Structure 1
Amino acid sequence: MRTSPGITLEPLDVERDLDLLHAWVTHPRSAYWMMQGAGRDDVRAEYAGIVADPHHDAWLGRVDGRPAFLAETYDPAHSPLAGLPEVGEGDLGMHVLVAPPDGPPVSGLTTAVFDAVMAHCFADPAVQRVVVEPDIRNDGIRAKNVAAGFVELREIELPGKTAVLSVCTRADWSSSSRERQRAAYRDALPRLDTSRRSSLATGLLDELHSSTDHLTPELMDRAQRHLVAKALGELAHERLLTPTPATGAGRWRVEAGPSSYAFTARRHRLEHWVVDPASIERTRDGAPAAPDAQELVAELAPTLGIPDQLLPTYLEELASTLAAGAWKLHHRRVPVAELVDAGYQEIESAMTEGHPAFVANNGRIGFSLGDYRAYAPETGQPVRLHWLAARRSLTRLSLSADTTEAELYDGELAPDVRARFASRLAALGLAAQDYLYLPVHPWQWQHKLAITFAPDVARRDLVHLGAGDDDHRPQQSIRTFFNASRPERHYVKTALAIQNMGFVRGLSPAYMAATPAINDWVASVVRADRELQDCGFEVLRELAAIGYTGDAFHRAAGPSAYRKMIAALWRESPVPRTPDGEQLTTMAALLHRDADGDALLTAWIKASPVDAATWARAYLRAYLRPLVHCLHAYDLAFMPHGENLLLRLRDHVPVGAFMKDIGEEVAVMGELPLPTEVERIRGDFPDDVKALAIHTDVFDGVLRFVAAILDEDGVLPAGEFWAIVRATIEEHAADHPELAAAATAYDLLRPEFRHSCLNRLQLRNTLQMVDLTDQAESLIFAGTLVNPAAVQP
């Protein structure tokens, strides 16, 4: 069997291979195989028994045709591991022995052989985990195991040795996880014997070379130009820059300290700039210079108002955004033609822009390159969440009114997984009924919980139970996961202590305690409203939230990000509620252009049976009209940007929408009676700020981009699009005369509205853009914008 270039495995022939076997397993380097001093007959008997055993196999490995290693695979249920609570169905045991070298060690050979054996194991689709049990003293192979993604569970006693039981899931062995594995290997190198460290380190460097294949001058230039074009456009939109006309049709110029930027751009309504990346020409001190997003921000720092102490953080987020941009250009070139009829998760992972308005929108500070490849949504890789048992007395589980604890866990965890968790606790002398199960991001466990909360783990207030059995896909919000193995199961949103777009992405147990109740109330309002039902508007409830509070940070310290590191919530899946024949997509897809500049929005309209104006009316009926109705009827505002809304399409035309992310991003801005536990969402906002729930969040945050794409692609002139927006609001008012007073108060068709700026928030404080408990006071305004939906004189 060929497993990788130049490496093959074949069934062991004991008689043919006996001389090799005897030399290998009795060599001093093979001491941990416990056959030192064995004779030929001893080796023959041992491996003849393995070959005859239906539950144990031996394999001879060749490299370029030459015998080079021995591998064994076995069923743990028919081995000394039988009966251990951590071992179960879908597990495959493995041993590997690389032949002692007959000359200088070959750099990287052991890693290549180990890769090949793991690939051989996972070639069987029934295998979900590989199990190994190295001698506790064998630092070399333990480092190799950790590098491959194995998790060391605990010490066990086996015949002749104290072993470290270790497991590696299929997800952890996926090809996109290799960089994370290699980083672990690099960290393990200091534990290796000095005589082996140099050659292994050299091999590691050879492997790492290919991991940065996206960081080339050509790809980085494209990423830089894209980001500089976005920065020029969005900073001009927020009036932090003022482009002036330059020589040439459609040419503009911006002065930035010692640099000058000339470019071609088109201005659309709402002061929306579409800058052509290829047209950007930069000079620095009069000499030509390459466009550089970090240098642009540094040159403009005094104008942008970014504090000196926070400038490096913002520059790091820009660097990360550039790295992600180059990676997508190299690895994620999905033509929109392939997305027109694609499934929900294929579309989700094909998104490349991040937030349409924020310049530094892929920060993810804290992720290594390997973490990026393993956990970024655009890489499309499956992730298996880890689970903790959190002591019940120190943990808060909040549930929706129609959900019980048993129903939650029965629906999310298969019986064999629950049994495995309970066995793990029992093996530690703990009672399962004293704990709640809490899902965590694998990165969070490795980088934060096992270290920052080590005392809690040592006290058994937190118990690591290992990875679950379901494959999940990270969503655009990066810490939310869709269950790819069982799409009908809930999304899981986890705490993730990385810095991304102005926040550390934690979850507060205290803040989330009311989340299910808030979602229940919002869902009840939506379900009972005939207008919303006619528009096909629904919400995906966050119906369970869990958070651990037994740590020192909750006991002694004041409010901090450390109180938001061990929490999760479950949100309903849209899949069971999406009718057959309909396509589900993130609304962010409407703003997506592929690497060649083709827009998915345009492709959907062309594939549909209706003209562009009819398509726009259908979209606005599914999206804008329900939001207007919620505002007028209930003073209820959502945060309806592209990541927070899913569209349902039939024949490529919008027919409905799911609103999500309710608990943190919904507000009631009036005197509507609320249940006591929901009162937290009531906000006191000035009248001219209330209407920004539509003007800023919908018009400026979404529709200005949609309108520009339609106009740029020659599909629908901007004037016609905004006339349809106006008509959608007017038609709603005509259909609901009982809401006339609210329509007058909000006055969504007023000539101008306040210009609320997002990048200004991030530039002011790159660590925390807004105070979530008082978001209105955090807003930054830059005058007013002409309302494109108003009747213009």
Structure 2
Amino acid sequence: MSARTAERDLARAATSLLSVEPVDPGRDAALLGSWLAEPASSWWGMADRDVDAVRTYLTAVRDDPAQAGWLLRRDGAPIAYAETYDPAVVLLTDVWDAEPGDVGMHLLVAPPPAEGRVHGLTSAVMRAVVEHCRDVLGARRVVVEPDVRNTAVQRKNAEVGFRALRVVDVDGKRALLSVLDTARIGVPDDGGPAAHLRPEHLEPAERHLVAKAIAEFTHERLTAPRVDGDGWALDAGDSTYRFRARVHTLEHWVLDEDSLTRTRDGVPAPLSAQELVLDLRDVLGIPDSMLGTYLDEIASTLASAAAKHRRGGPSAAQLARGRTDGDVVASFQDAEAAMTEGHPAFVAANGRIGFGLDEYHAHAPEAGARFRYRWLAARREHTHLALAADRTEHDHWAAELDAATVAGFQATLERRGLDPDGYTWFPVHPWQWQHRIAVTFAPDLGRQDLVDLGEGPDEHQPQQSIRTAFNRSRPARSYVKTALAVQNMGFLRGMSPAYMRTTPAVNDWVAGLVDADPVLADAGFGVLREHAAIGYTGDAHHRVDVASPQRKMLAALWRESPVPRLGPGERPITMAALLHRDARGRSVAAALITQSGLDAADWVRRYLDAYLRPVVHCLTEHQLLFMPHGENLVLVLRDGVVSRVFMKDIGEEVVVVGDVAVPVGTERIVHPVDDAEAALGVFTDVFDGVLRYLAAILDEDGVLSGATFWRLVGACVDDAVVGRARPLDLRAPDFEHSCLNRLQLRNTLQMVDLSAQTESLIRAGRMPNPIGR
């Protein structure tokens, strides 16, 4: 008999001796107070409560219809206290998408006696409580949220069948949200870091990605489904895919995923995104040398989607409402971690080639984890720190690092006999440090041109833009964006030190135009400046004029946080959330409209005035073209309505599309194009890249018809172009259809030449303009 089996049998025997009864506050307060005072009970945070306080607490639990307290006895002697609650209204209202039959649970086990300890008793108590939840309370699922540091109870949870989902912020702690299907009580969760790769998680991910691939490849006119009875069929090699779908404006396909089937030579076959790519290999045109990389990115995207499926996530209503305690920072980052698509258009959207399992769980944005940056001292003669006009180096470090941290950095250098004045401070991503800097820059570390200073004190949370992280310890401090040499969505995600030299100057100039423009001020439009940037060029790769990925391994920037710029009653959310559906298919956009109490058309009109109108105005008045997709916009919400927006990611992605004077040294952003090419900045990046998805979501949900949505877009555009310096014709009947997946399929290592992006684009004929005359 195995040790685990023996322990399980002991637990079952102990369970048979246990009874569960409602707690009696008057009778039990003193006893429970003595248990709570024990060091082992510190996780309850009630060690300092006297008997009266414990009695008051237990009475409040007893009198709350959403909670209950229970005393467990063994042979008549009290041995544990349990609480049960309705997670729809208590404690987990912001982080758990509760369903009927869900019961939350807390457990406090009595301190073991000095002698006569019963082996397996804690396991028996845990099992007795969850069986009570099932048999007496009718629970289908039991949910718990132990402190992430309480590994002992996590082991007991796993033993009885709980599976860990994700880390959440709840009740002032970082908690490991875990759930038990009561039909599987006693089946231990042997999860581990690869638990998301089980069939029950991977199969839905495959179905979703195959549906998305068919939709997007058809949108880009690579594939052409045929009518098949009351549905559609796509012939691909020796496979045929059948499904029901609706086709919306801009040739946007929404497949009914449940209806999707595949046959191979007439025989039913499982859905597989990689096999779909192979089935379509001839029409997709992937070069042989790139096929392996693209299949890797598909596999990684599937693994990410499977992990998201296992974790679940907040409901659309929870994300739309935000935190019930008014914590705008927590709700902002809840939404950032909840996003599931990566990018709405790209099929292979979450490649992240280079991350292992542990690194995925630590650094993928959907994991919601936190990390600390590694800090280096970089010799000044090889390093360039560029600053915004309103920031000195002293101001910068005073804003971003505590004085004690800087003093520690200086002391490290002094212990090595180095002069701190000859160095500046440099944040690097922990993955980059481990896999690139400590290897590629080993000679620089040996020369002490770079000096390892260890981890910084602030915790950061990864954002949808995987190189960027938000400061959770000091939310008013800047975002930090660092080079991260993983292969992801068509690029190795490095950063150029050469670009960093001019990034603050570009941001200053753009911010100056925006701040001085009364139309943009009226719309509340703002930019989050990248107000400091740093790059290191002391390595061997910078001593030769040969382009290489190694020249983009060591650079970083600091971007303004939106938090200090929020007013009372305002909260931020990534614009990507408008295209998000939760685990049960409900959209955040529809939930926001419901929350606002506005008519859907009024809500959309206000959103377009805050987002589309400024984007069009910047293009037609200042010839400024942003990259205004979901993760580059921060929406500011007030009562569920978009009141204004912040644009970010300026330095690398803003383009001046006309003959406009720019500050000396920033000429790299000027790329004049003709009117038709300039208009594509709206047609491709806004209409096709954002609004076609939102229009379809609202139409599918029965919230607002597509025809009404695009009429509102047309009215907004008409207002935005009147009297502008470059009145582009955004009402043209059609426009060139620029395709993103075609770029990645052509070269998944580098989709476009960033110095000549227009010349790199791939077109697929012309697309009817949804607001065309």
Give 2:693's match in structure 1, choosing from 693, 705, 715.
705
- Give yes or no for contact 2:317–2:592 (8 Å, CA) kept in 1: no
Q: TM-score, normalised by structure 1?
A: 0.73
2:770 aligned with 1:782, yes or no?
Answer: no
Amino acid at match of 2:431: W
Q: Does 1:769 align with 2:751?
A: yes
Instruction: For 1:536 and 1:333, locate their aligned partners in 2 and report how far apart those are by CA, in whole Å.
Output: 31
Q: Give CA deviations for 1:349-368 in whole Å, capped at 9, x if unaligned.
A: 11111100000111100000
Q: Does 1:262 align with 2:246?
A: no
1:559 has 2:547 as partner: yes
Deviations 1:546-593 (A, max 9, x none): 011111111136111101111100001111111120120100000000
C-alpha deviations, 1:140-159, integer Å up to 9, x for none? xxxxxxxxxxxxxxxxxxxx
Q: Does 1:511 align with 2:495?
A: no
After superposing the two structures, state which structure 1 stretch, 749-758 or 673-682, moved more: 673-682
Q: Which residue, 711, 726, 736 being the options, matches 1:742?
A: 726
Q: Secondary structure at the match of 1:550?
A: coil
Answer yes or no: is 1:536 the counterpart of 2:516.
Answer: no
In 1, the alpha carbon distance for the partners of 2:661 and 2:274 equals 49
Q: Is the 8 A contact 1:518 1:677 kept in 2?
A: no
Find the counterpart in structure 2 of residue 334 from structure 1.
314
Partner of 1:226, secondary structure, is helix
Where does residue 264 of structure 2 map in the other structure? 284
Alignment match, 1:77: none
Aligned partner of 2:449 in structure 1 is: 461
Matching of residues 489-508 of structure 1 within 5 Å: 489-508=477-496
Q: What is the rounded CA distance, in whole Å, between the counterparts of 1:66 and 1:598 in structure 2?
A: 48
Q: In 1, Cα distance between the equivalents of 2:256 and 2:532? A: 46
Give matches, 1:631-650, under 5 Å: 631-650=619-638
Secondary structure in structure 2 of the residue aligned to 1:398:
strand
> Residue 704 of structure 2 aligns to a residue in which SS?
coil
Q: 2:218 is matched with which residue: 208, 215, 236?
A: 236
**1:687 & 1:337 partners in 2: Cα distance?**
42
Provide the C-alpha distance between the structure 2 equivalents of 1:356 and 1:287, rounded to a whole number of angstroms: 32
**Quick one: which amino acid aligns to residue 765 of structure 2?**
G
Partner deviation per Cα, 1:475-526 (whole Å, 9 max, x = no partner)? 0011101111111100000100100000010000012211110000000000
| Contact residue 521 and residue 678 of structure 1 kept, 8 A | no
Aligned to 2:628, the other structure's residue is in SS state: coil
8 A Cα contact 2:365 2:463, kept in partner: yes
1:381 alignment counterpart: 369
Moved over 4 A (4+): 64-67, 118-123, 206-209
Q: CA deviation at 1:11?
A: 9.4
Counterpart contact for 2:321–2:595, Cα < 8 Å: no
Amino acid at match of 1:293: A
Distance of 2:416 and 2:568 partners within structure 1? 47
Alpha-carbon distance in 1 for matches of 2:246, 2:520:
37
Q: Structure 2 unaligned segments of length 5 or more: list them.
A: 1-7, 12-37, 41-111, 120-145, 154-173, 177-187, 323-330
Q: Which amino acid aligns with 1:335?
A: S
Q: Supply the distance in 2 between the matched residues of 1:625 and 1:354 (Cα, whole angstroms).
A: 25
Q: Name the amino acid aligned to 2:598.
A: V
Q: CA deviation at 1:207?
A: 11
Q: Report the Cα distance in structure 2 between the residues aligned to 1:782 and 1:396, rounded to whole angstroms.
A: 43
- The 1-side partners of 2:338 and 2:370 are apart by 14
Structure 1 CA distance, aligned partners of 2:456 and 2:118? Answer: 40
Q: Does 1:475 align with 2:463?
A: yes
1:723, 1:466 → 2: CA distance? 56
Point out where structure 1 has 5 or more consecutive residues left out of the alignment: 13-59, 68-115, 124-173, 177-205
Give the CA deviation at 1:471. Answer: 0.9
Q: Secondary structure at the match of 1:390?
A: strand
Q: For residues 122 and 565 of structure 1, what CA distance do their matches in structure 2 show? A: 41
Pairwise CA RMSD: 2.7
Q: What does residue range 21-420 of structure 1 map to in structure 2 within 5 Å?
A: 119=149, 210-248=192-230, 251-342=231-322, 343-420=331-408
Deviations 1:393-436 (A, max 9, x none): 11111111111111111110001111111111111111111111
SS at match of 1:463: strand
- Correspondences of 1:609-624 after superposition (within 5 Å): 609-624=597-612
One-letter amino acid of the structure 2 residue matched with residue 695 of structure 1: F
- Residue 159 (structure 1) aligns with: none
CA contact (8 A) 2:574 2:631 kept: yes
Question: 2: distance between equivalents of 1:318 and 1:397?
Answer: 38
Letter in 2 for 1:281: T
Could you say what secondary structure the match of 1:210 adopts? coil
**Is residue 490–residue 571 contact of structure 1 (8 Å, CA) maintained in 2?**
yes
Aligned-partner Cα distance in 1 for 2:381–2:291: 43
Cα distance in 1 for partners of 2:149, 2:316 equals: 33
Letter in structure 1 aligned against 2:219: H
- Show CA shifts across 1:755-782 (max 9, x none): 0000000000000001111100000000
Note the C-alpha offset of 1:122.
Answer: 13
Q: 1:141 — aligned with what? A: none
Contact 1:354 1:476 in 2 (8 A): yes
Structure 2 residue 754 is the aligned partner of structure 1 residue 758: no
Give yes or no for contact 1:583–1:652 (8 Å, CA) kept in 2.
Answer: no
> Which residue of 641, 645, 662 maps to 2:650?
662
Instruction: Name the structure 2 match of 1:447.
Output: 435
The SS at the match of 2:196 is coil
Q: Deviations over 1:280-311 (max 9, x none)?
A: 11011211001100000011111101101111
Q: Which amino acid aligns with 1:301?
A: R
| Larger deviation, residues 353-362 vs 678-687 | 678-687
Between the aligned partners of 1:547 and 1:742, the Cα distance in structure 2 is: 37
| Displacement of 1:687 | 3.1
CA contact (8 A) 1:332 1:378 kept: no
The Cα of 1:370 is off from its aligned counterpart by: 0.6
Q: What is the CA-CA distance between 1:218 and the residue it aligns to? A: 2.1
CA contact (8 A) 1:608 1:652 kept: yes
For residues 246-286 of structure 1, the C-alpha deviation after alignment (integer angstroms, 9 at most, x for no partner) is 112xx111111111101111000000000111111101121
Specify the alignment match of 2:84 in structure 1.
none
Q: Which amino acid aligns with 1:753?
A: F
